[in-house]
Amino acid sequence: MAGLSPTYPLQTERLDLRPHRHGDVDDMLAFHSLPEVVRYTPWPVRDRKQTEEALEARLNAGRLTEPGQWLILAIELRETGTVIGEVLLKWASDVNRSGEIGYALHPGYQGKGLASEAARAMLRIGFEELGLHRITAVVDDRNTASWQLLERIGMRREAHHLEASWFKDEWANDYTYALLRSEWLNGRSEPAASDLG
């Protein structure tokens, strides 16, 4: 596998997925500063300075050159040009051709199928452009909205790990979800009409 250098933006029906830019800081702060957004993410509630530092670290995360790297893209709502979240794809292993997805979305834009739209786009580039065989997602079992999203995009729950990680000062139970390239190509992840509303 040679890595991944997509042509941006990656366009979905309503979204432009693209590398972060310096001008994204205000939009990023709008959701990085919310406790309900970061409750199940690996970062804390951030102030403006911390958000600027996080943005700086993301500016060069628009391509994958070796296993272990994360592709981190801004989710821009095309209609307004507002960055409403982030979507991620990790190139986990070259030998196993495996990856992992993740996402975070401003709560004001949740419930509209936008995160599903962005996540499906990352599955597409993972399978069809990077050539992955299997993509997983790991989610706290209390994060109902997130694991329901994974099920809507066709991923299957493969495991429930009890007290699997020490996360934000407590033991967390994790669900592991997965999708195979063959399932993707057979249309398992096709959106339902209810996902697009």
CA dist., res. 112 & res. 55, Å (int): 26
- Residue position matching structure tokens 């205000």: 26
List, in sequence order, every beta strand (DSSP E) within the chain: 10-11, 15-19, 70-77, 82-93, 98-105, 134-140, 156-167, 170-180
**What is the predicted pLDDT for the residue at 1?**
75
Fold of 10-135+144-153: Aminopeptidase (3.40.630)
Contact, 102 vs 77, CB < 8 A? no
169, two tokens? 């000062």
The model's pLDDT over 64-98, given as tens digits with 9 standing for 90+, comes to 999 999 999 999 999 999 999 999 999 999 999 99
Do 71 and 89 touch, CB atoms closer than 8 A?
Answer: yes
Q: What Å distances lie between residue 122 and 108, 166, 173, CA to CA?
A: 22, 28, 25
Q: What is the pLDDT along the chain (197 residues), one digit of tens a residue?
A: 789 999 999 999 999 999 999 999 999 999 999 999 999 999 999 999 999 999 999 999 999 999 999 999 999 999 999 999 999 999 999 999 999 999 999 999 999 999 999 999 999 999 999 999 999 999 999 999 999 999 999 999 999 999 999 999 999 999 999 999 999 999 877 765 445 44
Distances (CA, A) of 169 to 23, 47, 83, 176: 33, 21, 30, 21
